[in-house]
Amino acid sequence: MAEQYPIAELPMPSPTYGPSRVVSIQLEALATNDEPFEDAGIGVAYNFASPANRRATGPFDRFRQMVHNPRYAPMVDHVEATTGPVERDDDSATQRVTLTGPNGRTVTYAFRLSRHRRGELDEHWLTDSVVQE
C-alpha cells in the first residue's frame, strides 16, 4: 500500500459526516479489516485521522503496526461494537466504544475527534486520538 495520504479507493472524510458517523465508518471498516484488500480497514482509519494524528502515528506502515499491537488489536476484525453517546463541545467530540475482539476480549476506547476549520479539510470531523480506557 502506498505511503501517502489519502489511501485511494477507501472511504474519505466528508463535511457532511458528524462525529458519530465518522466513528461508525471506521468501526465498520475495522470489523472487516481485510476487505477489499489486506488492512483496508486500518487504511480507512488512517484516512479519517487528523493531520496531527497522522504526524504522530504515521506514515501508514507505522500506523498499521500500531493498530496491530496488543493495545489496539481488539479493533481489528472485532465481532461486536457498542457505542456510547457522543459528548460534544463546539468543535470537539468524544465517543466511547466497547469492542469485543475476535478472541472474545472486550475493550473500551474513547474516540476523540475535532472539526477542522481551515484548508481542504474545513468542516470535516477527524479522529485526533483513540485511547484505551
Query: CATH no. for residue 125?
Result: 3.10.450.50
Select the more confidently predicted residue: 120 or 82: 82
4 in a structural domain:
no
93 in a structural domain:
yes
2 in a structural domain:
no
57 in a structural domain:
yes
CB atoms within 10 A of CB 114: 19
3 in a structural domain:
no
Q: What is the pLDDT of residue 118?
A: 85
81 in a structural domain:
yes
8 in a structural domain:
no
Question: What is the Cα–Cα distance from 72 to 53, expressed in whole angstroms?
Answer: 15
Question: Can you give the residue range of the structural domain that contains 110?
Answer: 19-132
When divided into structural domains, the chain yields a total of 1
Give backbone dihedrals phi and psi of 37, rounded to 5 degrees, phi first. Answer: -150, 170
Give backbone dihedrals phi and psi of 86, rounded to 5 degrees, phi first. Answer: -80, 125
Q: Is the pTM of this model over 0.85?
A: yes
97 in a structural domain:
yes
Name the percent of the chain lying above pLDDT 90.
Answer: 89
pLDDT digits (tens, 9 = 90+) for 8-62: 899 999 999 999 999 999 999 999 999 999 999 999 999 999 999 999 998 999 9
